[in-house]
Amino acid sequence: MLTLVLFNLTNGIILGLFYVLMALGVSLILNLSNVINFAHGNFLALGGYFAFSLAPYLGYWGAFIVAPILVGVIGVIVEQTMIKRVYPRPHVYSLLLTFGLAFIIQDMCRTIWGVNGLPLSIPNALNSPLSNQFFFLTGYRIFLVAVVIVAVAALFAFLGFTRVGTRIRAGTFDLDTVSALGINIGLLRALNFGLGIGLAGLAGVLAGGQIGLNPNMGDDLVLPSFIAIIIGGIGSLTGTLVGGLIIGIASAVTSIWWSAGSEVIIYIMMVIILVARPRGIMGEEGMMT
């Protein structure tokens, strides 16, 4: 029983970390660009597939570094060619745009890499379980946790201590003022969009090593990452971080007793939060409107 609980808890943490990576990216884009990115899961898949195709040339580690950056660059291109054109328009347009992009990217993945799943092979060193009893604690999972911790720490350090990061945070609260200070909002949004998409790419590379690649691999992560943001509180990246971990663990723990409930529990938690604390766990008062 203890093993089972630990097994599920580990799964929950891993799942939560994927939610965190996804939700942080969605949240960055939502905060600064006011765009809900439906295609975020498809950028995740793109990250995994890029790593798959680059690995023969660059090796796993080369692909591990390059694939997320490449996805981020594609994110910037998409933002510059399409997304930025709908910023001044009502939200319905940005939603429809990313919705359409999700379809297109998914179909591209299908056409280029095939409908069937592909394995993303990981270095042998990462592959073995650390102990027989705790078979689920593989080297890869430890690696995954470490990578996410480093990535999240780097993101928060970037936002907290660099000039661009400070401007991104300031833009989240008051874009007009930031703009009035003569800061190039367009460039800031493009960078921020690329950063958010790059996080999805990283999640894709990591997920590929865990569950393999398929064109829909990101789909199941998109909506929960929205929920993570709502639960954590719109406008707060720390909230998103907490929200992602909470729903990941809650859904894994729930699945111990009620396997079908792992998704339902996320939404039940959202409703409870909405009723009890509408601005989310760490949301700003002004952001709830």
Partner 1 sequence: MSTTTAPGAMAAKPAAGGWLHLVVIWAVLISAPAWMGYIGGYDALASQVLIFGLAAMGLNLLLGFTGVMSFGHAAYFGLGAYGAGFVLRYWVHSTPLAILCGILLGTVAGVTFGALMMRRTGIYFAMLTIAFAQICYYIAYSWNSVTGGYDGLRGFSRAPLHLGSYVIDIRGNGTLFYYFVLFVFAICTGLMGLLLRSPLGRTMIALRENSQRARFLGIPVEQHVWIAFILSTFFTSVAGALYALLNNFADPTALYYVISGNIVIMAVLGGMLSFWGPLLGAAVFVVLENEISSMTVNWMSFIGVIFVAVVLFFPRGLLGFLRRRSA
Residues that bind partner 1 (CB under 8 A): 30, 34-36, 38, 82, 85-86, 89-93, 95-97, 99-104, 106-108, 110-111, 223, 226-227, 229-230, 234, 260-261, 263-264, 267, 270-271, 274-275, 278, 287-289
Residue number with CB closer to partner 1 (209 or 215): 215
Structure tokens at 51: 């790593």
Residue number with CB closer to partner 1 (112 or 150): 112
**Contact indicator for 28, 189 with CB cutoff of 8 Å:** no
Residue number with CB closer to partner 1 (64 or 193): 193
**Tokens 């367009």 label which residue?**
186
CB 139 to partner 1: min, Å: 34
Residue number with CB closer to partner 1 (153 or 268): 268
Q: Exposure of 251 by Cβ count < 10 A (0-12 exposed, 13-18 middle, 19+ buried)?
A: buried
Residue number with CB closer to partner 1 (187 or 274): 274
CB 172 to partner 1: min, Å: 13
DSSP-assigned letter for residue 114 = -
Amino acid 215 reads: P
Selection from 171, 224, 254, 260 nearest residue 21 by Cα = 224
CB 121 to partner 1: min, Å: 28
* Backbone angle region of 182, left / alpha / beta, with phi > 0 → left and psi within -120 to 50 → alpha: left
Distance of CA 31 to the CA centre of its chain: 14
Residue number with CB closer to partner 1 (41 or 209): 41
User: In whole angstroms, how far apart are CA 18 and each of 113, 123, 200, 204, 254?
Assistant: 23, 21, 9, 9, 18
DSSP-assigned letter for residue 128 = S
Radius of gyration of the chain (CA): 19
| H or E element, residue 264 | helix 261-276
CB 278 to partner 1: min, Å: 7
CB 268 to partner 1: min, Å: 8
Residue number with CB closer to partner 1 (151 or 234): 234
**Contact indicator for 86, 36 with CB cutoff of 8 Å:** no
CB 283 to partner 1: min, Å: 10
**Contact indicator for 246, 16 with CB cutoff of 8 Å:** yes
CB 50 to partner 1: min, Å: 19
